[in-house]
Copies of this chain bind each other. A is one copy, B any other.
Amino acid sequence: MVTLKDIAAEAGVSITTVSNVVHNRASRVSPELVVKIRSIIEREHYVPSMTARTLVNDESYIIGVITHMTPQNVGSTMSDPFLGTFVEGIELRTREEGYFLMIRSVEDAQALETLRRSWKLSGVILTGVFADDFFEGIRNLGIPFVLIDSYLDDPDICNIGLEDEKGGYLATKHLLEHGHRVIAFASPSIREGGVVEKRLNGYKKALGEYGISFDPSLVFTQEIFVEEGKRLGHKLAAKPEITGIFASADILAAGIMTGLREKGVQVPRDKSIVGFDDNYLCQLTNPGLTTIHQDAEQKGFLAVDMLLSQLRHETVANHSIILPVSLIERESVCNLNR
């Protein structure tokens, strides 16, 4: 078996230089050397041993994408288009940067700690809704991690989030501007300080501007599965006083639309609805779903970049990146003013 050392000796360069070329960090090496080293690698059929590399560097160059396992959902919930597109972005960027992607659903912080230690993970990206004690448990994980859409009150923890409150505000204001006054808020369970609470705050803020006081009976929490969304649609169909709905995820909004339709309630004629995410579902519902836009693939890229900055001990200027949102108007909101 040809080793890194053999290649380095033949090319007359350091092992580090060969390693840089092998592991896609060629930008640090002159183009001529890259060509020379690559041709030797090819001729000798050299393949780096990740096991040896893990032993030498005490890290495996594996980035874990960790989702939360719950009793209702033991899988990795990858079928939500938001998460699928997000993971696509992560896979692409980790590959470009010479890292590898492991996907794992964990039930608690202990399971993540075991995974980290047994694999010497380089870093982890955490997505989904975790309980408070989970976040306590990972504070001292010992490797870089990036949280997605989880807001912790700790400036040292890296997080990529959205203008969630603004998103909730824009969605609700859009319904108010179109004459809706009784507006339901549909979302998965609301964790204190979490992403859904921020969207709810935006909803409350918009209502406040129109002098409408917050009515807790208009908040409907529901897991983000199609069946659950449909059931919520059935429930909302029986409440004619509600003319507007803001659903905090497109997949939930789409499920609600189907549930409403099954009960003979037409969108937008009878009820208007605004989603959140702007994934491709918004174009596949009929009518098209007015929603709050976010860029899931870009979120995946940024998560990897933020992790790599920490891994390379670069100064991370900002531990919290908040991505912008905007309202995308389609056909799911009816103007009651006309």
Contact = CB atoms under 8 A, between A and B. Distances in A.
Interface residues of A, number: 54
Nearest to A286: B286
A91 B51 CA distance: 22
A231 to B, nearest CB: 12
A79 interface: yes
B104 A100 contact: yes
B81 A79 contact: yes
Contact of A230 (B105, B113, B120, B283): B283
A261 interface: yes
A47 B102 contact: no
Secondary structure of the A side of the interface? Answer: helix
B91 A80 contact: no
Contacts of A285: 284-286
Interface string A282-312: 0111101000000001000000000000000
Contact of A101 (B79, B81, B103): B103
A136 interface: no
Contact of A91 (B78, B283, B286): B78
18 contacts: A48-B118, A50-B119, A51-B54, A62-B102, A75-B91, A76-B92, A78-B84, A79-B84, A79-B85, A91-B103, A91-B105, A95-B104, A95-B105, A102-B102, A226-B284, A230-B283, A258-B288, A261-B286
